C-alpha cells in the first residue's frame, strides 16, 4: 500500500481508488499553512521522524524498497523496518480517514443548505 506513495508499481491488491488517489495528491484546503499534497506531507513527516531518508537520496532507496515491496521478497527484515512500515501504513490510513471526515462534513453542509 505504500508503493504508490513513492511512485513505485503497486501490487494488484494495493491500487488506490481514483478518488483516494486524487485526495492524496491535493493540498489540504482546510489548512492554509500546508501547500503541498497530502502524500508529500506524509513523506516529509516520515523523513522528519527518521522512518526514511529523503526519497531522492540514493541511500534511501533500499529502505523504501523494503517498505514498498512484499515482505516475502526479502530474506531478512529488521523489526525496525516492520515497525516503520506498520506506523507508515497507520499514518496513511489516518489521512485517508480524513477524506471520509471531509466528505461527511460536506454532506452535512449540503443537507442543511436552504433550497433555492
In this predicted model, what pLDDT tens digit does every residue of 73-89 receive, in sequence order? 766 778 998 899 999 99
The pLDDT tens digits of the residues spanning 24-79 come to 999 887 777 778 999 999 999 999 999 999 999 988 998 998 888 877 676 677 89
At 94, is the pLDDT very low, low, confident or very high (cuts 50, 70, 90)? very high
On whether the pTM is more than 0.85, the answer is no
Grid coordinates standing for 95?
Answer: 489521512
pLDDT for the residue 116: 66
- Is the pLDDT at 13 greater than 80? The verdict is no
Looking at per-residue confidence, does 98 or 54 come out higher?
54
Question: Is the CB of residue 91 less than 8 Å from the CB of residue 45?
Answer: yes
Say how far apart CA 40 and CA 36 lie, in whole Å: 6
Return the residue matching grid coordinates 471526515: 101
pLDDT for the residue 16: 87
Question: Is the CB of residue 88 less than 8 Å from the CB of residue 67?
Answer: yes
Amino acid at each position: 500500500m505504500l508503493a504508490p506513495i513513492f511512485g513505485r508499481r503497486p501490487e494488484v491488491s494495493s491500487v488506490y481508488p481514483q478518488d483516494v488517489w486524487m485526495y492524496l495528491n491535493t493540498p489540504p484546503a482546510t489548512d492554509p499553512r500546508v501547500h503541498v499534497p497530502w502524500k508529500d506531507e506524509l513523506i516529509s513527516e516520515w523523513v522528519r521522524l527518521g522512518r526514511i531518508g529523503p526519497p531522492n537520496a540514493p541511500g534511501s532507496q533500499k529502505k523504501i524498497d523494503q517498505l514498498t515491496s512484499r515482505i516475502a521478497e526479502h530474506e531478512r527484515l529488521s523489526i525496525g523496518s516492520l515497525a516503520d512500515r506498520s506506523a507508515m501504513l497507520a499514518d496513511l490510513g489516518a489521512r485517508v480517514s480524513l477524506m471520509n471526515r471531509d466528505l461527511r462534513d460536506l454532506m452535512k453542509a449540503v443537507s442543511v443548505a436552504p433550497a433555492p
